[in-house]
Structure 1
Amino acid sequence: MIPSYLIKKQRWLLLFFLALIVITAVIGMGMGFASLSYNRLLPTIFGQGTMKESFVLFSIRLPRITITLLSGMALAASGAILQGITRNDLADPGIIGINSGAGVAIAVFFLFFPIEASSFVYMLPAVAFIGAFITAGLIYVFSYNKKTGLAPVRLVLVGVGFSIALSGAMIVLISSADRTKVDFIAKWLAGNIWGDDWPYVLAILPWLVILIPFTLYKAHQLNLLNLNESAAVGVGVSIEKERFMLLLTAVALAAAAVSVAGGIAFIGLMAPHIAKALIGPRHQLFIPIAVLLGGWLLLLADTIGRHLVDPAGIPAGIMNSLIGGPYFIYLLLRKS
């Protein structure tokens, strides 16, 4: 039974982060090389803008903002699941190699499989999922001990090793590739939000619409798995089955996000941690907050990065790493 004051606190926090998202999105809509003054935003949204204003808002700014927001939400949910099933606060799809696995799959697909551009967009999340799932499976196998079960610290170390190895594989893949394709993969690796058109929104949206509600549905199982295996078995939880289903969910969410947003790390680490600090460790309470927080963090990073350095800006992945790297070191030192 969740105390009523916590439910009330959660609602206030959800409203607070929704407000932050709206404020950041509005700031992002009015910023850029093509001028769109803030007093013209509402008229343009309601169809009273000029052709130029409508093009800038609906074809350039809003798709990117939406993609960034959805990707951050997916990565935050994925990180919350991974931390729950591994009982490791350092677990994150970017740190433990899942994002790198998705990236290698996308690079192979992009370089060696001829496909029409119209189909390419919608196949990206599925291709990324295959690469991420294979990587996650190997990491899980190498981290599992028959006597003690899944070793949380070992999982992070194995994941970091896989991430480094896959980054090396990516360099080998692009070393002899065409220049234009190398540029695309380099942008992907840097975490540049490259999927900035409405088809990319339609490619990622179904994954979130299905998997985030499923994650919330499984919140109670995550609470039990986060305690210890004997407690979970004692209340009738099928540990391996639940872990496998939740791992699939985490991998799918991360793959969908990075397939259109690039190699973004640390969102899945920071958002769940901050949410837990605000509302406590119950998954049904902190996951909705973490989802909104993850979307806002990535949106904020992209909004700042795009306008910090002219003309190309700084990729959101690099902006995130500037904050997330020290945060990861702080958590690592605290755990040791």
Structure 2
Amino acid sequence: MIENKQYKSRHFIIFMVLLVLTLVTVVVSLGIGYSTVTIDRIIPTLFGLGSFEEEFILFSVRLPRILITLLAGIALAVSGSILQSITQNDLADPGIIGINSGAGIGVALFFLYFPMDAGSFVYMLPIVAFISALVIAVCIYFFSIQKGAGIQPIKLILVGVGFSMACSGAMVVLISSAERERVDFIAKWLAGSIWGTDWPYIVALLPWLVLLIPFVLWKANKLDLLSFSEEVAVGVGVSVHRERTLLLLAAVALAAAAVSVTGGISFIGLMAPHIAKQLVGPKNGLFIPIAMLIGGVLLLIADTIGRNVAEPEGIAAGIITALIGAPYFIYLLMKK
């Protein structure tokens, strides 16, 4: 009983430390950039006491970008947590196994060949990305499963990497004959540049998280069982195929919604769950909330560094996360 209380206390302390770190990162990100708003002016400006220039920088440029980045990091972290549990593989990540690239194909086709007004485009984008990513996820799932043995973890990674490369090749073919402006957009998307930096994109992304994250937390016990062998899950009465399918749909939807407005971000869904497990253990109900904060703050730090390293264009957040995540992936691969 005492150990349980100590564990809960430790979990709470870690959660609060990460929450404070997130808030500090938000404040720092608000205050630095091409046009500087000093730290002492951020709070007054947020409460409507700033100059026109300060309010424009914070409310029209920085704040929507920061919120989009945080939400996308959270979504990718939860998606990665689900994939790692249902595949019993700590190397699973929506970027690595091809889900992000699958979403990218849908985004590219939609952007190039189905022109719409800006208002409709914003809200249709996550739906198109989800449908496209789902098709690729089903293909990866089909080629990774072995009759009588379930999903083969290493085979999943290899098949996913293969589909990811195939999707990237298809993207090159799609943009080879496109107009210059459209090619520039898709190139930025492939690099993982946070491009959906306006309030309507937050409105488009938020409902996916509000609906799916509570569902995933509700299914946390099922995820715990699915992370063991299939025989164990069946033995305690879990409908393995049904639960795995529902949770896979949730993982694909969260990843697709995130990358539809941030571009091809990889490794957040790999690193955040793994770090969270190291901090609080492998129980999904405990580590997923921690992973959410880690994913959000990792992507926000990457974007803040990227947009301030080489002003005014900056470096895409996806490149920064890849520089951090690729060595981490190799370390895990060697360890496993």
TM score, norm. by length of structure 2: 0.98
Greater CA deviation, 58-67 or 142-151? 142-151
Within 5 A, what are the aligned runs for 1:149-188?
A: 149-188=150-189
Q: For 1:198-232, what per-residue CA distance to the aligned partner results, in whole angstroms no more than 9, with x for missing partners?
A: 00000100000111111111000000000111110
Within 5 A, what are the aligned runs for 1:87-236?
A: 87-236=88-237
Question: AA paired with 1:262?
Answer: G
Conservation of the 8 A alpha-carbon contact between 1:67 and 1:201: yes
Question: AA paired with 1:94?
Answer: G
Within 5 A, what are the aligned runs for 1:41-80?
A: 41-80=42-81
| Whole-angstrom distance in 1 between the partners of 2:180 and 2:116 | 18
Conservation of the 8 A alpha-carbon contact between 2:34 and 2:311: no
- Deviation of the 1:5 alpha carbon: 2.1
| Whole-angstrom distance in 1 between the partners of 2:90 and 2:41 | 44
| Whole-angstrom distance in 2 between the partners of 1:150 and 1:43 | 54
Conservation of the 8 A alpha-carbon contact between 1:7 and 1:285: no
Within 5 A, what are the aligned runs for 1:30-49?
A: 30-49=31-50
Q: For 1:19-67, what per-residue CA distance to the aligned partner results, in whole angstroms no more than 9, with x for missing partners?
A: 1111111011111122311111111011111111111100000000000
| Gap regions ≥5 residues in structure 1 | none
SS, match of residue 34 in structure 1:
coil
Conservation of the 8 A alpha-carbon contact between 2:96 and 2:267: yes
- Deviation of the 1:328 alpha carbon: 0.5
| Whole-angstrom distance in 1 between the partners of 2:133 and 2:9 | 37
Question: AA paired with 1:134?
Answer: V
- Deviation of the 1:6 alpha carbon: 2.1
| Whole-angstrom distance in 2 between the partners of 1:60 and 1:68 | 13
Conservation of the 8 A alpha-carbon contact between 1:125 and 1:256: yes
| Whole-angstrom distance in 2 between the partners of 1:111 and 1:164 | 20
SS, match of residue 233 in structure 2:
helix
Question: AA paired with 2:21?
Answer: L
| Gap regions ≥5 residues in structure 2 | none
Q: For 1:236-255, what per-residue CA distance to the aligned partner results, in whole angstroms no more than 9, with x for missing partners?
A: 00000000000000000000
| Whole-angstrom distance in 2 between the partners of 1:222 and 1:291 | 16
- Deviation of the 1:147 alpha carbon: 2.1
SS, match of residue 3 in structure 1:
helix
Conservation of the 8 A alpha-carbon contact between 2:34 and 2:308: no
Question: AA paired with 1:97?
Answer: G
| Whole-angstrom distance in 2 between the partners of 1:178 and 1:201 | 28
| Whole-angstrom distance in 1 between the partners of 2:85 and 2:306 | 31
| Whole-angstrom distance in 2 between the partners of 1:10 and 1:164 | 39
- Deviation of the 1:312 alpha carbon: 1.1
Number of residue pairs matched by the alignment: 335
Structure 2 counterpart of 1:273: 274
| Whole-angstrom distance in 1 between the partners of 2:139 and 2:82 | 18
| Whole-angstrom distance in 1 between the partners of 2:235 and 2:6 | 30
Conservation of the 8 A alpha-carbon contact between 1:143 and 1:150: yes
| Whole-angstrom distance in 2 between the partners of 1:284 and 1:118 | 37
- Deviation of the 1:152 alpha carbon: 1.0
| Whole-angstrom distance in 2 between the partners of 1:301 and 1:96 | 21
**4+ residue runs of structure 1 moved beyond 6 angstroms?**
none
Greater CA deviation, 57-66 or 306-315? 306-315
| Whole-angstrom distance in 2 between the partners of 1:281 and 1:114 | 45
Identical aligned residues as a percent: 63
